[in-house]
Amino acid sequence: MATINRPWGGAGRGIPFPLPRVNGWVLASVLVLGLGAALPVLQNSIATSRGFDSQLMDARQAQLRSEIGLLEADVARLTALDRIEERATALGLGPADDPIYISVDEPGPAPANIPAEHLPGDVPSPDEPAPWWQSLVSRVPLPR
């Protein structure tokens, strides 16, 4: 008799394996409950991940703010009076001798634009208070 190399096949076929009969409602309930249980875990995981991202963004924002501060300080240092004088001297410039004043018929140049933050703000003019009797008159039904 020839031996057929079917180590598992025979067993499966030989012993009947009864599939459990599952009610559809029960299965759906289990699925819903499982998803319901998984949802908080999922939410927690997402919140943790977002929190971590948020911390990274905060750190990045702080780093950028610091870099802005450093750059502003650098700009201030580079535009300091001593440095301007040093550069001017290096370029061969120096203080003027006696100035020559020229009278011209044209009006002078417009003043340089000053950044808005250095200009004084508008002073709001206080509204004239309404006379006390106006509120009384407004209640009287007068023909218009």
Binding stretches for other proteins (CB under 8 A): 48, 51, 62-63, 65-67, 69-70, 72-73, 76-77, 79-82, 99-105, 114-115, 117-118, 120-121
Closest separation between CB of residue 105 and other proteins, Å?
8
CA distance 122 to 60: 37
The residue among 82 and 128 lying less far from other proteins, judged by its C-beta, is 82
Contact 83, 77 (CB under 8 A): yes
Q: Tell me the closest approach of the beta carbon of residue 113 to other proteins, in angstroms.
A: 12
- Residue 35 or 42 with smaller CB distance to other proteins: 42
- Nearer Cβ to other proteins (43/66): 66
Burial of 101 (0-12, 13-18, 19+ CB in 10 A): exposed
In single-letter form, the type of residue at position 130 comes to A
* Cβ 82 to other proteins shortest distance, Å: 6
Q: Looking at residue 7, what DSSP letter applies?
A: T
Beta carbon nearer to other proteins, 90 or 114 = 114
Reduce the secondary structure of 16-47 to three states and give it as a string.
CCCCCCCCHHHHHHHHHHHHHHHHHHHHHHHH
As measured in angstroms, the least distance from the Cβ of 100 to other proteins is: 6
